[in-house]
Structure 1
Amino acid sequence: MKHKHTRPRRPQTNGKVERFNRTLMKEWAYARAYSSESAREASYEAFLHEYNHHRTHTAIGGLVPSARVHNLTGKYT
């Protein structure tokens, strides 16, 4: 086993993470002016809930990510 590092900002090897980071910057972190960093932090949880439970993703056939995960808190069946 050998530990390998990927180069930063390299879509061929870490494209999903790069795309999520770009989405965070565009739709959450810099989408509007926040009065403080704590106000920005407070909005993060709501953004993630919207992203994971209500926003459809074309890469997974129009589903929401929470529909693809079967072991969410409170969802054990």
Structure 2
Amino acid sequence: MEAKDGSKGFDFEGTFTKIESNESIHFKLGDNRVVIVELIETINGVKVVETFEAEDENSAEQQKQGWQSILHNFKKHVENKSN
């Protein structure tokens, strides 16, 4: 993953371990941490809930902000595709 301006970047890899169509995606990162992305249908649309195992290198808050940024960019991408 890389910042658009090239100022920051890091390797990010994993393996999908379970995919439930329209419900959830489970994957294991290269360092064996588990991530679960749930897709929950609501009256207002689909709510995306992401649960991840924190790593030890960065603070929990930094990691939360990083994952939130990824979700926010994904939201913008999906909304732009539907117009």
TM-score by length of 2: 0.32
Higher strand share: 2
Report which of the two structures shows the higher radius of gyration computed on alpha carbons: 1
Higher helix share: 1
